[in-house]
Amino acid sequence: MKKISLLLITMLISTVMFAQKLATTEVPAQAFADFKARFPNAEKAVWEKDIAIIKVTFINDGNKMEIDYQNNIPMQTKWGILKEYTPQKIKDYVAKFYAGYKITEVFFVDKSSGERVNEAIITLKKKDTKILIFDISNNFLKIDETVKPAK
């Protein structure tokens, strides 16, 4: 009985902890309409739901992008920055304080609050991933441990 209870609890926790892919028909109409209005030429859109957040990852004009919706309102929009255009100040910071880590992705993030930041996703041998937040001038602000890195 204890093994069955443990198995059920483990399954419940794993279901809650990981984002679930959504079919386009499962996306709330308001979020889908906003997305289509803002990015009518978007390609390869993948929708996911993670508790109260609905995220769409897509390609727009050759750039990887993401939008996070909460209650059908866009909370933040991310534009991927090609590795060769990663700001030198971010590269230098990672090299100095995170020796051995590789920058895997960099995003310009525009939040609904008006805040604009850069995110650098860094990894150490694909086992340890961190999201570093920089201001718009690429000065380090903090490590963001509240969100999962983009896939």
The residue ranking higher by pLDDT, 147 or 29, is 29
Cα–Cα–Cα angle for 103, 113, 90, nearest 5°? 20
Predicted pLDDT at 147? 54
Q: How many Cβ atoms sit within 10 Å of the Cβ of residue 43?
A: 10
Cβ neighbors of 124 (< 8 A, separation 6 or more) are 98, 100, 101, 102
The residue ranking higher by pLDDT, 21 or 151, is 21
Given the structure tokens 């109409």, which residue do they identify?
Answer: 29
Provide long-range contacts, Cβ within 8 A and 24+ apart, for 136-139.
137/89, 138/87, 138/89, 138/90, 138/93, 139/89
Strand partners, 105: 121
Q: How far apart are CA 19 and CA 49, in angstroms?
A: 5
Per-residue pLDDT of 91-131, as tens digits, reads: 999 999 999 999 999 999 999 999 999 999 999 987 889 99
3-class secondary-structure state, position 150: coil
pLDDT band at 5 (very low <50, low <70, confident <90, very high): very low
Predicted pLDDT at 18? 58
pTM over 0.85: no
Provide DSSP, 5-64.
HHHHHHHHHHHHHS-EEE-GGGS-HHHHHHHHHH-TT-EEEEEEEETTEEEEEEEETTEE
The residues spanned by each domain of the chain are 19-76, 82-145
Per-residue pLDDT of 7-43, as tens digits, reads: 333 333 443 455 799 888 899 999 999 999 999 999 9
pLDDT at 63 over 70: yes
pLDDT at 2 over 50: no
Distance of CA 63 to the CA centre of its chain: 14
pLDDT band at 148 (very low <50, low <70, confident <90, very high): low
